[in-house]
Amino acid sequence: MAHKSSGRMAGRHSVPAVALASALTLYAAVAAGQGRVTLDFQGTPAILVRVPIEQIPTLLTRLHPLDLDGPSVRTAADMSERAARMVLKVSPRQCVGALTLAESAGDTLFGAWKLDDGDGPNTLAVWDTPRYSAFVLIWTRVPFAGGGDAVAFTKSISPPGTVLGSAELRLRWDAVGRRLDGWGTPPLTPRPHGFEIQVLGAPAGDIPYVYEVIVGKSLLARAYTNGEPSDSFLVPERFPPLRERLAGWTKGKLLAELSDGFDDFAANRDEILVQELLRRGLSTVEFQQLFAAPGPFRVENVMQALAGAGLIAQYGAGLREVLLAQSPGVHRSEEIVRIALRYLQASADPDVCDVVSEFLARGIFAPWTFAYMERRGHTHEHYIAVERAAAPAGASELARSRALDQIRRRIPGLGGR
């Protein structure tokens, strides 16, 4: 899910301030220092993260020591390298650490790479979480002497064509604290989840300077190659992917795991769960449960899953029941009818012209009823239903005219009417 085009996006403040601060603290400390935590993968030191000494026992209980050649570590290493190359002009040379962390908020991936030798950047750490991705370039040379150095460095690591290089970056330099911060917006239309880029830089402990780039998740969707729909990069369960974990789940558990439809990020997880439910088959009652959530994202997820799997016709009877159960003047019902008819008008089966004709006779759910008939109306009865329909306030007469015109074209002998 090329990415959903429903206009969802994460705003500038979607990355918590505490997370930004922790990223600098966490990955500035990939270099040697007190509290460094290391694991040994087949004799290869895997440099992880530095935390206060008192927190190390807690951290160790959440780590997954993995075989360096194992698939999960290989996934973490490969993905971190691809992501780094997509954002920065870097040459990852040696992976010195790769792992996944299982946390309550979702899986986190970590990859650390040695870069080419020289007097510039020498270590790159990639951090991927369910809601955003952080890239921390650890620069061990002389700290920036001023704003000009910061801008020049940014240009040196972001050639044209990269995500960072294509962004319009607005950088600000704090001469007193020798800190850099700024925001950028890649030229993407429509703008998906997390379309902004944040750049941070600051001295950190024994390291002269840490340069951090935080990139919205959608910009890195191509870094995931696990075969999941592209929205899986926003799902908490990513290593291994959620879809691989569902075999032992009952339909009851799948239904219970669905969100209330209000959380934009949860909507991506919901779609995978809905797809699995549809794959297994649902009774009429179970199918109607999918539309019961009060939030705005559920109906879109269900209809998109149906369309993507080619199952709209199979669940046609259930969709008819869902439409007929809706009440005019109720916002939730209006949303269900609007979204359902938008998908149904693109499908020849099921034909719900009879349901829409009933709505037209009652003067409800316009202008979506007119839009459906414009695409699907094909009989004299449909033409008359549109012609005689009451047009409530807000319903466009132009929509009615377009529907009548298209129905005429489909009925032999009616074109001159």
Summarised one tens digit per residue, pLDDT across range 300-320 is 989 999 998 999 999 999 999
For residues 235 and 242, the answer to whether their CB atoms sit within 8 Å is: yes
Find the domain containing 365 and state its range: 230-410
Tell me if the pTM is above 0.95. no
Query: What does the pLDDT average to over 32-43?
Result: 32
pLDDT value of position 230: 61
Residues 136 and 216 both lie in one domain:
yes
For residues 272 and 191, the model is more confident at 272
Asked if residue 199 is part of any domain, the answer here is yes
Single out the residue in 186, 206, 222 at which a domain terminates: 222
For residues 14 and 165, the model is more confident at 165
Report d(CA 87, CA 83) in Å as an integer.
Answer: 6
Helix axes 380-388, 368-376, angle to 10 degrees: 160
Residue type, 117: D
Query: What does the pLDDT average to over 193-199?
Result: 70
Residues 114-137 pLDDT 10s: 787 666 677 777 878 777 677 777
pLDDT value of position 103: 63
pLDDT value of position 400: 92
pLDDT value of position 17: 29
Range list of β-strands (E), 87-229: 94-103, 106-114, 121-128, 133-139, 168-174, 179-185, 197-204, 207-215
Residues 160 and 256 both lie in one domain:
no
3-class secondary structure, 187:
coil
pLDDT value of position 26: 37
Residues 186 and 325 both lie in one domain:
no
Average pLDDT, the chain: 75
CA distances for 277 relative to 130, 253, 280, 287, angstroms: 23, 10, 5, 9
Single out the residue in 202, 222, 242 at which a domain terminates: 222
Residues 252 and 384 both lie in one domain:
yes
Residues 35 and 174 both lie in one domain:
yes
Give the chain's domain count: 2
